[in-house]
Amino acid sequence: MIAKIARKEFTEYLRDGRFRWTALIILALLLVSLGLGWKNYSDTKREMEAARADSRSTWENQGKRNPHSAAHFGVYAFRPKTPLSLIDSGLDNFSGSTIWVEAHYQNPARNRPIEDATALQRFGELTAAGVLQLLLPLLIIFLAFDAFAGERTSGTLRQILSIGVKRSSLVFGKILGTSSALFLLLIPATIIGVLALALATTNETLLSSLPRFLLMCVGYLLYFGAFIGIALTVSAWASTARLALIVLLGFWVFTCLLVPRLANDTAERFYPNPTAEAFWAKYDKLRKEGVDGHDPSNKKRKELEQEYLKKYKVEKLEDLPINFAGIAFNAGEEFAAKVFDKLYSEIWVGYYRQENLQKTAGVLSPFIPIRFFSMGMAGTDLSHTEDFTSEVEQYRRKFNRFLNLNIAENSTTKDGYKYFGDKKVWQETPEFVYQIPDTSWALSKQIWNLALLFMWCFGALGLSIFEGNRMKVL
Amino acid sequence: MFTKIIKNEWRNLFAERSFLVLAIVFAVLLGFGIYNGAKWIKERSEKSKALLVAQEKDFADKKEKTAKGFKGSFEPGNFQPDPASPYSIGMGLQYAVLPFSPTAIFAVGQSDILPIDAGVTISSIQRTIAAKAIGENPLSFLAGRFDLAFVIIYLLPLFILALSFNILSGERETGVLQILLSQPLSLKNLLTAKVTAQFVFLYALVLIVTLIGLLVSGVNFSAEGFLVRTILWLAVVFAYTLFWFSLAVFINSFGFSSATNAVACSAVWLILVLVLPSLLNILVSAVYPVPPRSELIAAERSVNLDMRKDGKRLLSEHYQDHPELMPKSEKPDLNDFGLAFVYVQRLIKEKMDETQEKFNNQIENQQNLVSKLRFLSPSIITGEAINDIAGTGLNRHKHFRSQVKEFDKAWGEFFVPKIYRLEKLSVDDFDKIPRFKYKEESTSEVSARVGLGILVLVLMSVGLMFLTFGKLENYRLE
């Protein structure tokens, strides 16, 4: 019986011109956005590769110079685009893509793509994720709003139930029918998505992206399930199809438009964004007074001098077999590292507080968990942004230690700054390689969002069965 | 008869509970948008003000110390630069602040991306706090901001459509329309009266809430340009409201059922407000692609010189090329690290400014194209107009940027020759240090840009109404 009802719904949808047109438009938009995502991904990847090679060659060919002076010149770390960013660009437009790696300072990521756009960008970027998150629910609403309400008005509901069809079978049939119509759209979209991925990536990256991609699909299915459930519930509850439609459209506006922005602004009110001035003022203070209120950096330096004089049993720094400048620089870096760890972790704590408040708002809107979950799988969310910056920082420390110890080991204190490194040193300098974290790491950050999606999906579907069981026939 | 229908329409509206709830929700959202905008401006302006005050205080301190003959301290642990050193002042970051326009409350616009306090220095910006700025949470941009512009551009049309999607179909379905038209009353007049009633109600609601919002948030009503800009805003909102009502009646004139009307209205809203702008954005950035940011980095690194190694040579060449920069009394120390540093930084700055100009030009090209393409969607017209009126869009920022460029030049010309000539600032020189003062863009330019947008919105609405009246001739009551 369920299959029969489902088939009837499905056939009806196919005959309905409204469905055909809306589905075609959405499919076209999906295609365009996937194409654009693919182009954006491959362009950016090429540019980044070129820039990375360029930056490295500038570094290797900088000629003879003091390694510390070279460290001041520094290198650049570029954030690679993840393959799945072609589906969901997430925060990529709003977070910096490059970090200047230099001596003494842990720099924030710079060059946000949004800086290079007009106000049109603020209407939202067309991405596959955007189409799936915003437009597909609307299609579901258009499909299902009169599922029960329409049959009630036309009197067919009474007929069906009078011939002994179980109410739950009716609801299951409607769920199945709506889902199969949706799959008619989703299956080609998924195939195209996989093709775009395959075109954009090498076999290896494609394989490593597949688990993330599959999880992403699961997330979207749960999201659509939630909307099907809600649409059917409202259709069963509402007295007329018109009322059902208005309530559902209102729900869409509330979920997809109002809650995300309200949550965002509320989060900013509660946990204000830091200012650059305050950050660097704090930095100066900590450097002067020491991280924990004692042991400022210049006191450390004196202790270090004594330590080395004792170690090599000499009277003056000039008599050391090594260059003390390198040792001092290295100690300075280690001290600064503590300061930066403290300051940046404060920044990230603030960011995550904002994120958590927004995530909590997911209780009110399934749009929020799917948005976070999708970004998380695409590798374009806040955690991935932080992972990149902290990897760069680990690299910066390695980079500086290498250069500072190079000074210490290859010259003496008497040489001072007159020691110059050559091409060999620059070639031996470690290079920054970034690997996107694995799927289980990404998934571990998404437990809450995934749980919410499950709750929304099965809660809504369950509710539709409940409502279907008690709905009025007339 | 006309006024009777209007009155009756109002009576009906207020009798409906769901309508009242909707109206209250909309009013609250309007209020929240104003509150958010006001908060935003307050925080930013206070920050900028604090910067300017700190800057002036710093100058005053240095001036006083110079007057007392203080020459700096090189004591270990208490290092202080010479207060009269053109190097240490010039290298520091001097902020040029773009004050918010008196009507900035209408839209946050691009002010979260386009810096309102631009740092100016004789060095390349690369080493300044400006380049090390800890940004906002990237998450803040994803959802977009809940400001008044959002409520007007996105929510106002939804509220209008919720009111009027069944303006005829609803009456027809309940049978009221048939009864009404049995009176000596034409369908056109009935529709016009109903729409007028809803329009007046809605516009008054927006007007009253906004006025209260402006009063409560302490906007300076007597500020220069406030009145003109506010009137422009009222006109834009008027035209935008008119457009959406015209669209709703146009859709109604086809004689579909209420449910079909609702689907059609939401689909059109979706296309005009969400889909079209993002498609146009793609077009605009494809026609005028911005070069990859790595070009800026390449420019930053194109001047790759070791001051310790090359400084002496570069400096002596520089002095030979510019004999006017030779100090009068003494010979410059060509091993001076600071002098070489200034030289290299000036080179880098020049390269970076050149590249930055490429970016700015391309964005300006994009903006010019947007100004033309905006007529394709009433939401873009309105969005652009509101940003223009609020002064938080690209146009006013461009105006600001060109002034900052001048200021940057003046700043360099004041300090750099003094550095090469090994001069110090005299007490009087402190008052001659260039200060930035923003000159406001002319309101007539803003009015012209916005006015054109309003005109097109009104024309669109009139066109839709014209079509509606044509279709009403064949409107079927069954």
Mean per-residue pLDDT for B32-43?
A: 91
Return the DSSP state at B226.
H
State residue A278's pLDDT score. Answer: 81
Number of residues assigned to chain B = 478
pLDDT above 70: percentage of residues in chain B: 96
3-state SS, chain A, equals CHHHHHHHHHHHHHHCHHHHHHHHHHHHHHHHHHHHHHHHHHHHHHHHHHHHHHHHHHHHCCCCECHHHHHHHCEEEECCCCHHHHCCCCCCCCCCCEEEECCCCECCCECCHHHHCCHHHHHCCCCHHHHHHHHHHHHHHHHHCCCCHHHHHHCHHHHHHHCCCCHHHHHHHHHHHHHHHHHHHHHHHHHHHHHHHHHHCCHHHHHHHHHHHHHHHHHHHHHHHHHHHHHHHHHHHCCCHHHHHHHHHHHHHHHHHHHHHHHHHHHHHHCCCCCHHHHHHHHHHHHHHCCCCCCCHHHHHHHHHHHHHHHCCCCCHHHCCCCHHHHHHHHHHHHHHHHHHHHHHHHHHHHHHHHHHHHHHHHCCCHHHHHHHHHHHHCCCHHHHHHHHHHHHHHHHHHHHHHHHHHHHHCCHHHHHHCCECHHHHHHCCCCCCCCCCHHHHHHCCHHHHHHHHHHHHHHHHHHHHHHHHCCCC
**Cα distances (Å, whole numbers) of residue B354 to B285, B347, B361, B405, B436:** 21, 11, 11, 12, 22
What confidence tier does B295 reach under pLDDT thresholds 50, 70, 90?
confident
State residue A243's pLDDT score. Answer: 87
| Four-CA torsion A161, A167, A171, A174, nearest 10 degrees | -20
State residue B129's pLDDT score. Answer: 67
Is the pLDDT confidence value at A294 over 60? no
Of B120, B350, B35, nearest to A265 by C-alpha is: B35
- pLDDT tens digits, residue range A122-159? 888 889 999 999 999 999 998 889 888 888 888 888 88
**Rounded distance, CA B135 to CA B455, Å?**
39
Mean per-residue pLDDT for A386-391?
A: 95
CA angle A388, A390, A396 (to 5 degrees): 105
**Rounded distance, CA B343 to CA B345, Å?**
6
**Rounded distance, CA A273 to CA B429, Å?**
38
Residue corresponding to tokens 């002596």: B316
Q: What residue in B sits closest to A122 (Cα-Cα)?
A: B144
- pLDDT tens digits, residue range A5-61? 888 888 888 887 778 888 888 999 999 999 888 988 988 888 888 999 988 998 998
What confidence tier does A208 reach under pLDDT thresholds 50, 70, 90?
confident
Where do runs of H (alpha helix) occur along B68-186? 86-91, 139-143, 148-150, 156-164, 169-174, 176-181
State residue A285's pLDDT score. Answer: 85
Chosen for mutation from A55, A265, A301 (greatest number of chain B CBs closer than 10 Å) is A265
User: Could you tell me the residue range of the domain that residue B205 belongs to?
Assistant: 1-478
Mean per-residue pLDDT for B157-170?
A: 91
Range 2-21 of A in CB contact (< 8 A) with B: 18
Return the DSSP state at B152.
I
pTM above 0.80, yes or no: yes
Which segment, A20-24, A470-474, B204-208, B297-301, is predicted with the most confidence on average?
A: B204-208
- Which residues of chain A have a CB within 8 Å of the CB of B47? 275, 277
Count of other CB atoms within 10 angstroms of residue B130 = 17
State residue B50's pLDDT score. Answer: 87
- pLDDT tens digits, residue range A80-117? 999 999 999 999 999 988 999 998 889 988 888 888 88
What confidence tier does A302 reach under pLDDT thresholds 50, 70, 90?
confident
pLDDT above 90: percentage of residues in chain B: 46
Q: What residue in B sits closest to A105 (Cα-Cα)?
A: B132
Is the pLDDT confidence value at B30 over 90? yes
B270, two tokens:
């979706």
State residue B130's pLDDT score. Answer: 66
**Rounded distance, CA A197 to CA B180, Å?**
61
Of B340, B309, B349, nearest to B130 by C-alpha is: B349
Strand partners, B118: B96
Give me the interface pTM, i.e. the ipTM. Answer: 0.89
Where do runs of H (alpha helix) occur along B151-275? 156-164, 169-174, 176-181, 187-216, 226-252, 258-269
A366, two tokens:
């399934």
State residue B148's pLDDT score. Answer: 95
Strand partners, B119: B95
What confidence tier does B239 reach under pLDDT thresholds 50, 70, 90?
very high
Number of domains in chain B: 1
Is the pLDDT confidence value at B44 over 70? yes
Mean per-residue pLDDT for A368-372?
A: 97
Lowest mean pLDDT among A168-172, A192-196, A277-281, B146-150: A277-281
Task: Please provide the average confidence, as pLDDT, over all residues in chain B.
Answer: 88
What confidence tier does A299 reach under pLDDT thresholds 50, 70, 90?
confident
B30 alpha-carbon distance from chain centroid: 19
Give the helix/strand (H/E) hosting B409.
Answer: helix B394-420
Q: What residue in B sits closest to A47 (Cα-Cα)?
A: B292
- Read off the amino acid at residue B215: L
State residue B31's pLDDT score. Answer: 94
Chosen for mutation from B127, B173, B294 (greatest number of chain A CBs closer than 10 Å) is B294
What confidence tier does B127 reach under pLDDT thresholds 50, 70, 90?
low
Q: Is A63 left (phi over 0), alpha (psi -120 to 50) or beta?
A: left
Chosen for mutation from B293, B358, B375 (greatest number of chain A CBs closer than 10 Å) is B293
State residue B29's pLDDT score. Answer: 94
Task: Please provide the average confidence, as pLDDT, over all residues in chain A.
Answer: 89
- Which residues of chain A have a CB within 8 Å of the CB of B290? 116-117
State residue A297's pLDDT score. Answer: 66
User: Could you tell me the residue range of the domain that residue A114 belongs to?
Assistant: 2-470
Rounded to 5 degrees, what are φ and ψ at A101? Answer: -100, 115
Q: Quick check: A273 contacting B, CB < 8 Å? A: yes
CB contact under 8 A, A54 and B298: yes
Mean per-residue pLDDT for A177-198?
A: 88
State residue A138's pLDDT score. Answer: 92
Q: Is B119 left (phi over 0), alpha (psi -120 to 50) or beta?
A: beta
State residue A437's pLDDT score. Answer: 93
- Which residues of chain B have a CB within 8 Å of the CB of A111? 293, 296-297
A238, two tokens:
């509402």
B415, two tokens:
């300090």
Is the pLDDT confidence value at A291 over 80? no
Is the pLDDT confidence value at A328 over 70? yes
- Which residues of chain B have a CB within 8 Å of the CB of A269? 39
What confidence tier does A324 reach under pLDDT thresholds 50, 70, 90?
confident
Count of other CB atoms within 10 angstroms of residue B314 = 18
Number of domains in chain A: 1
Q: Quick check: A107 contacting B, CB < 8 Å? A: yes
State residue B135's pLDDT score. Answer: 73
